[in-house]
Structures are given as structure tokens and as C-alpha cells.
């Protein structure tokens, strides 16, 4: 028979009523809570019994304290005298249980109880979640800014969409947690003013918050899987998952070890944060390269016939030393393809590069087009002096721009028609016949 059970409970920290009712149901099934860990709650097998549980909060407590404070010890003695036994602690939360049929309530002043919970939340819960929410918003902003530097190419990557969704969902989960607590506090304080305890638990709101967070975690997992091909296949996704679990377990283990050794709270916190920072750098920058190996170069060398447009199609003889590459990817928003024929740097061989983007969502078309236009109007233009000018060339049969600088035009063209954007660069200017061929090849049909 299984004597212990580990379960990843996801209770809202302030929902003491919900935690107490849950533990009472578990005791009736023959499972008693033994310890709350970083990744799971540990239950031990026991005889099924009718148990009363109570959850209290102690603002002076800390997960870094090596031992209970004097006031905590006095409180525990008081609870033992009233028939309550300490089950375990969770930072500033203490969980008690008793098998007495009619136990004496640990807390009788509801207004004082709500104030204590709020003090505990102000000390630990709210600052940590506000900081996490701010970091997620900042990270989301930085990530989106990077995506918008080349929208067509980035929005065609499923991993980019999934990471954006993950950051947004995790931010929403934290926001729901914060607003949920504030709503609970307002209702609990109003009930306390009448001498009553807020009835019910936060189960429905907890379910919503956990569901949103779970979707965020799934987005991260699928993002890792979608990019795993170039980093060792599914082994990379497995490595990332193992690293995340190991990080949480190791940091919690270091903190618990120092508590057992009697390390003071301030030193424990500093050492734990230093270990967390060191582990994060090690797991991000060292371990993946050592286990999986360096990231493979993403050169998709293909036969020339794979390319929808090649130098030979433009009447330019293909010389020895030319290499053809082709890249194709698609997301629900954008389909992106890139082709190239070129030789070694400074080889003097003719070359051709182009990108073809089909924007599936019309509302994103201008965003993707502006991303190309900004390459020279803003980004590259400051370095090269180049800028776009509209080009009136019937051979393109599309809206076209060409890059210019102070000395004249470049053989760089941007064209768009019917939701498709084509960015084409060559080593020499296109003749009308070559332009017509390029337009027919890159705008005609499905590439």
C-alpha cells in the first residue's frame, strides 16, 4: 500500500478556508498533510477520520527563519492547550488540526483575523506578485518590440506566437491573483464589520487562475517543442523541463538546508538568491550547450530546382560555386519563405536573395509591410544612408518601392500585391524582362 502521496496543489495563499476544507476532506479519505514543498504537498496515509483544520497567518514568520520566533512558540503553546496540533508551516501560514468534535476556535475576532491576513499579504504576497507582474509586462513589451522589428519573419514562427501567448497568459494569471485577493479582502472586511466570517472558499476563482496559468505553461512547452528541431529534437524540450523542475527543487533545498543549520534569515535570503542567480545562468548558458551541443546552423541547402526563382530564370548563367538555400515556415498569421543563391564572400559570383510573405490576417498586412519599409527608412538607413522611394515600373504589376541613397538607386526592391509581400535583392539592376519574370515567379500562384 502506498504510504505517501505527493500532489501539486494550487491553492491561493490567502484562501485559508479553502485549504482547511480541502485538508478535512483528505483526512476523511485517509490522507493527512505532512509537509508543503516547493513543487508539491506531501500527504501520509492514515486511518480515515473526521478532522477539523484551521489555517492562521503570522506576519512575523518567514520562510528563511531558522526557527520559530518567541511569539510563534507562545502561539503554538496556546493552540496545543486548546487541542490544536501544528501540522506544518507555509511561510507565514500555519496549519493546525484537531480531532475534537467541538474544538475551540483558534481565532474568534474576525476583524482581527482579516487584518492579520492582510498584513501577511502586504509583507510577502502582494510585493512578490506585483514585482512578478511588472517583470512579465516588461518582458512582454521587450519581446513584442523585438518581434515588431521584423514582423513578417517573426510572426511566421509558431514559437514566437506561443511565447507571446505564454507571457500574456502568465501576466493575466498574476493579475487575476492580485485582483482576486483585493476583491476577497474587500468582501472579508465588510463581513468582519458585522462580526461574521466570509462564507465559502475561493475555489471557482482559484480554478480560473490556475487554468490561465496552466495554459501559459503549455504555451511555453509547445514553444520549446516547436524550436527543438535545431537543438537536438525533443531532447531539448525535455532538458528545459527537467532544468525548470531542478531549479525550483534545488533553490528550495538550499533554503531548507540553511534553515536546519540555523543560518540567520538575512544570510539565508542572500545565499538563496545568489544560488538562484548562479543556477539560472548555468542552466541557460552552459548546460544546454554541454548536453545538446552547439546550435546547428540553420542553412537549408537545396537543389536549384526547389527555388521558385533562380538566377537561371533571369537569364544569368549559374556558375560553379553557387549555393542554393531555401527556408519555409508558417503560422496561423503569416507564411514566410526565403530563397537565396550566392557564393563565398568576395567571390565575385552573381547572387540573388528574396523573401516572400503571405499575410493571412488582413489587419496585420500594414504592420508587416511597414516592418520592411522601416528597414531603410529607420533601421538600416541611419547606417547606410539608404531609403525607400516609390517605383513606377509596370513590369512588376504591383505596388513597388526601391532603395536609394545620395548616389542613386540600389538593386533592392520591395513589392506587394493581394496580401503578399516580396523583398528582393540582387547584385545588379533588373531589366524589364527580368523584372517581369521575377514578378510572375514570386507573385504567381502558391510558392
Give per-residue pLDDT as tens, 283-340.
Answer: 766 666 665 555 444 558 888 888 999 999 999 988 888 999 999 999 999 999 999 9
Residues 6+ apart with CB under 8 A from 145: none
Query: What's the first-to-final CA gap in the chain, in angstroms?
Result: 61
Residue-level pLDDT at 297: 43
Along the chain (447 residues), what's the average pLDDT of each consecutive run of 10 residues? Answer: 83 87 94 86 93 90 74 88 91 92 89 91 85 88 88 90 85 88 90 80 75 78 60 58 78 82 83 84 67 54 89 88 91 94 86 96 94 78 80 94 92 95 95 95 83
CA-closest candidate to residue 95, choices 76, 69, 110, 77: 76
In the 8-state DSSP scheme, what is residue 300? -
Burial 14-44 (b: 16+ CB within 10 A, else e): bbbbbbbbbbeebbeeebbbeebbeeebebe
> How many Cβ atoms sit within 10 Å of the Cβ of residue 137?
15
Residue-level pLDDT at 299: 55
Check: CB of residue 410 under 8 Å from CB of residue 403. yes
Residue-level pLDDT at 22: 92
Residue-level pLDDT at 301: 86
Residue matched to cell numbers 518590440? 145
Please give the Cα distance from 151 to 182 (Å, whole number): 38
In the 8-state DSSP scheme, what is residue 342? E
Burial class of residue 191 in the structure, from the number of CB atoms within 10 Å of its CB (0-12 exposed, 13-18 middle, 19+ buried): middle
DSSP calls for 199-265: PS-SHHHHHHHHHHHHHHHHHHHHHHHHTGGGGTTHHHHHHHHHHHHHHHHHHHHHHHHHHHTT--H
Q: What is the pTM of this model?
A: 0.73
- Secondary-structure percent of the chain, ordered helix, strand, coil, rounded to 5: 50, 20, 30
Check: CB of residue 144 under 8 Å from CB of residue 164. yes
Burial class of residue 278 in the structure, from the number of CB atoms within 10 Å of its CB (0-12 exposed, 13-18 middle, 19+ buried): exposed
CA-closest candidate to residue 195, choices 106, 122, 107, 116: 107
Residue-level pLDDT at 414: 96
> How many Cβ atoms sit within 10 Å of the Cβ of residue 294?
8
Residues 6+ apart with CB under 8 A from 237: 221, 224, 225, 228
Rounded (10°) angle between helices 158-193 and 126-148: 150
Q: Could you tell me how far CA 146 lies from the centroid of its own chain? A: 15
Please give the Cα distance from 401 to 416 (Å, whole number): 9
Please give the Cα distance from 31 to 443 (Å, whole number): 67
Please give the Cα distance from 86 to 76 (Å, whole number): 7
Amino acid at each position: 500500500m502506498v504510504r505517501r502521496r505527493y500532489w501539486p496543489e494550487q491553492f491561493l495563499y490567502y484562501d485559508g478556508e479553502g485549504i482547511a476544507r480541502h485538508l478535512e476532506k483528505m483526512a476523511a479519505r485517509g490522507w493527512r498533510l505532512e509537509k508543503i514543498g516547493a513543487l508539491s504537498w506531501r500527504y501520509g496515509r492514515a486511518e480515515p477520520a473526521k478532522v477539523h483544520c484551521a489555517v492562521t497567518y503570522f506576519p512575523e514568520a518567514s520562510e528563511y527563519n531558522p526557527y520559530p520566533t518567541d511569539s510563534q512558540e507562545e502561539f503554538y503553546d496556546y493552540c496545543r492547550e486548546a487541542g490544536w496540533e501544528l501540522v506544518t508551516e507555509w511561510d507565514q501560514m500555519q496549519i493546525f488540526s484537531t480531532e475534537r468534535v467541538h474544538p475551540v476556535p483558534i481565532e474568534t475576532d474576525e476583524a482581527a483575523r482579516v487584518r492579520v491576513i492582510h498584513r501577511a499579504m502586504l509583507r510577502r504576497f502582494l510585493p512578490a506578485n506585483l514585482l512578478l507582474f511588472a517583470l512579465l509586462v516588461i518582458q512582454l513589451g521587450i519581446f513584442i518590440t523585438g518581434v515588431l522589428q521584423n514582423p513578417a519573419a517573426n510572426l511566421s514562427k509558431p514559437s514566437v506566437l506561443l511565447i507571446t501567448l505564454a507571457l500574456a497568459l502568465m501576466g493575466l494569471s498574476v493579475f487575476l491573483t492580485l485582483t482576486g485577493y483585493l476583491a476577497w479582502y474587500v468582501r472579508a472586511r465588510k463581513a468582519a464589520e458585522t462580526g461574521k466570517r466570509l462564507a465559502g472558499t475561493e475555489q471557482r476563482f482559484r480554478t480560473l487562475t490556475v487554468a490561465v496559468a496552466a495554459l501559459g505553461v503549455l504555451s511555453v512547452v509547445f514553444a520549446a517543442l516547436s524550436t527543438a528541431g535545431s537543438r537536438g529534437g525533443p531532447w531539448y524540450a525535455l532538458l528545459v523541463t527537467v532544468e525548470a523542475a531542478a531549479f525550483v527543487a534545488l533553490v528550495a533545498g538550499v533554503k531548507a538546508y540553511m534553515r536546519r543549520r540555523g543560518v540567520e534569515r538575512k544570510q539565508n535570503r542572500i545565499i538563496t538568491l545568489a544560488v538562484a542567480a548562479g543556477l539560472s545562468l548555468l542552466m541557460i548558458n552552459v548546460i544546454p550547450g554541454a548536453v545538446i551541443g552547439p546550435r546547428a546552423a540553420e542553412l537549408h541547402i537545396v537543389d536549384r530546382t526547389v527555388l521558385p526563382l533562380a538566377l537561371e530564370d533571369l537569364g544569368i548563367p549559374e556558375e560553379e560555386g553557387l549555393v542554393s538555400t531555401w527556408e519555409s515556415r508558417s503560422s496561423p498569421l503569416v507564411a514566410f519563405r526565403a530563397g537565396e543563391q550566392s557564393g563565398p564572400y568576395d567571390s565575385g559570383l552573381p547572387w540573388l536573395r528574396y523573401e516572400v510573405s503571405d499575410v493571412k490576417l488582413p489587419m496585420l498586412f500594414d504592420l508587416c509591410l511597414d516592418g520592411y519599409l522601416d528597414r531603410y527608412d529607420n533601421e538600416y538607413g541611419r547606417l547606410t544612408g539608404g531609403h525607400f522611394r516609390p517605383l513606377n515600373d509596370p513590369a512588376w504589376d504591383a505596388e513597388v518601392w526601391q532603395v536609394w541613397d545620395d548616389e542613386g538607386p540600389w538593386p533592392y526592391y520591395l513589392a506587394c500585391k493581394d496580401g503578399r509581400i516580396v523583398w528582393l535583392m540582387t547584385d545588379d539592376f533588373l531589366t524589364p524582362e527580368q523584372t517581369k519574370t521575377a514578378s510572375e515567379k514570386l507573385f504567381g500562384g502558391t510558392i
